[in-house]
Amino acid sequence: MANTPVTEPKRRFSVVVIGGGIGGLAAAIGLRLSGQQVTVVEQRAKYLGETGSVRQGLNQTANSKICLYALGLEEAFHKIADSSYDVKVKRYSDGQTINAITKKRSFSMVHREDLLRILYQRAVEVGVEIITGETFESLEDTTQQVNIQFRGGRTLQADLVVGADGIHSKVRKFIPSARNANAQPTGDCCFLVDVPKSIMDKSPSTAALYKSGEDPFHFTVGPGRCIVSWTITTRELYHLQLCDFQYGDGKAYGLSEKDESPFVSTFTNMPAFRERWSDFDEAIRTLLNETNVCTKWRIAETPLSMPWWSPTNRIVLIGDAAHTFEPFAGQGAAMAIEDATVLSRLIARASRDPSISLNDILTAYETIRRPRVNGIRQIVKANVAIFSLADGEKQAERDRNIGKKGFSMVNDEVAGRKGPYRGNAKWSTEQSYAFTEGYDAIKEADGYQFGRQGGGMRESHI
């Protein structure tokens, strides 16, 4: 990994990051590189190898990769990634390619545990203190510092606590107006399946999907459902995310009562699962017949208006702790990485300029990030609408035009009034990708003008 030197700041902040996932580690590395005193607290006793992260593929696009590269991870990232410029869109009933969407910027597919591993190694390398096997009990948030009490009796003090502890964030409970802002199920559900290469090679139809990563990314669209799938050749796996936008109460999957299961759980009723997807093509049916268990991911969202930081300016949320939303743009992990980048670079600027206060930092963080996150949410809604069409005239029009220049991924219901579309109900595929993947969190943070009326918000870089 790159031997990036740690800067010696004029003012050093002590920061405790609660949650050592992707966003938490990215924040910790960025903060440490600017000379801050950084501690990450992770509740797992063994950091690597106990994530339970089977069936955990991640799509990383240009907007997140530039952030990772700035942390000194470019070389390490390339070693764990399958990359492409093309998305092959396939018809659900026969698996035939409808068209290809070619992007201007490459995107990469990685295994979550591989990305965590290189982030962890980089954090240790730059001098982040990582405490494992600890669960915090309470935060005493004062105007001077935050006192953190852990279950085992350990205590820590910090100038700032970063809550990177996910959808069920405990840190969120210590921000008074966000205390009851729990994530709520949307009625959609994803099922995550990893198929080993040895299984993929058994059948010509499935072997054609794997092809050793030569054609790594596939998007299969059907009525009310779609499948996003890709190769992870570093682990010799084919990863599938089977998205059901009509999951509702789960009756189609054999549930007799309302689904009250955890948002992420193991699903074993494979006969019901196979039946629900039996109208998809031979290759998909073959893979599911070889699958005995999968991960069920009930999709949930946090409220749009939920605050992200405390009145004392000493507790702030990033990633899913701040803004959980549906994963149908491949941007969940990217939003956490962008959050981490913006926050850490704003703090770096404050450490060089003592006139910048914590309130200035957190105001800037939310001013930059909230419009961005809300814009991605709109794109998610647009993706669901266009890629879950029932068979018929609109679906046929989509299939004829997808991948063509100027094709709109946005319908009138979700576009227009707010966010990135700026009143234009016919954003093209190219415009949506430009907003999503052309964003530069580093330029946003470094170019923010503190003290400017209206919070200093500028147009997003695309």
pLDDT tens-digit map of 232-253: 888 888 999 999 999 998 999 9
DSSP state for residue 428 in the 8-state scheme: B
If you search the block for the tokens 């073959």, which residue do you land on? Answer: 286
Strands (E), 24-135: 37-42, 57-60, 82-91, 97-111, 129-132
pLDDT score for 103: 74
Residue 433: CB partners within 8 Å, gap ≥ 6? 103, 104
Q: What is the pLDDT of residues 399-453, one digit of tens each?
A: 888 767 666 655 444 433 444 444 444 556 667 777 888 899 999 999 999 976 3
* CATH architecture for the domain at 14-83+105-182+303-372: 3-Layer(bba) Sandwich (3.50)
Query: 303 to each of 58, 189, 206, 333, 377, how far by Cα in Å?
Result: 24, 19, 40, 19, 12
295 close to 55: Cβ distance less than 8 angstroms: yes
Instruction: Read off the tokens for 47.
Output: 């950091």
| 414 C-beta neighbours (distance < 10 Å), count | 22
Q: How far apart are CA 185 and CA 324, in angstroms?
A: 11
pTM of the model as a whole: 0.91
Element (H, E) at 240: strand 237-244
pLDDT score for 121: 95
CATH number for the segment(s) 185-301:
3.30.9.30
What are the phi and psi torsion angles at 118 (to 5°)? -70, -30
Q: How far apart are CA 31 and CA 170, in angstroms?
A: 22
Instruction: Read off the tokens for 29.
Output: 């590395």
190 close to 344: Cβ distance less than 8 angstroms: no
Residue 204: CB partners within 8 Å, gap ≥ 6? none
Q: Where are the domains of the chain?
A: 14-83+105-182+303-372, 185-301, 380-435
pLDDT score for 217: 87
SS3 97: strand
The Cβ-side half-sphere exposure at 444, using a 13 Å CA radius, reads: 30
Q: How far apart are CA 268 and CA 193, in angstroms?
A: 12
Strands (E), 259-372: 264-267, 294-301, 315-317
pLDDT score for 447: 96
Which candidate, 438, 460, 458, 433, places its Cα nearest to that of 448? 458
Which candidate, 353, 321, 350, 375, places its Cα nearest to that of 445? 350
pLDDT score for 410: 52
Query: Mapped to the 3 state alphabet, what secondary structure does the chain carry?
Result: CCCCCCCCCCCCCEEEEECCCHHHHHHHHHHHHCCCEEEEEECCCCCCCCCCCCCCEEEECHHHHHHHHHCCCHHHHHHHCEEEEEEEEEECCCCCEEEEEEEEEEEEEEEHHHHHHHHHHHHHHHCCEEEECCCEEEEEECCCCEEEEECCCCEEEECEEEECCCCCCCHHHHCHHHCCCCCEEEEEEEEEEEEEHHHHCCCHHHHHHHHHHCCCEEEEEECCEEEEEEEEHHHCEEEEEEEECCCCCCHHHCCCCCCCCCCEEEECCHHHHHHHCCCCCHHHHHHHHCCCCEEEEEEEECCCCCCCECCCCCEEECHHHCCCCCCCCCCHHHHHHHHHHHHHHHHHHHHHCCCCCHHHHHHHHHHHHHHHHHHHHHHHHHHHHHHCCCCCHHHHHHHHHCCCCCCECCCCCCCCCCHHHCCCCCCEHHHHHHHHHCCCHHHHHHHCCCCCHHHHCCCCCC
Regions in the chain scoring below 70 on pLDDT: 1-5, 47-55, 212-213, 403, 405-430, 452-462
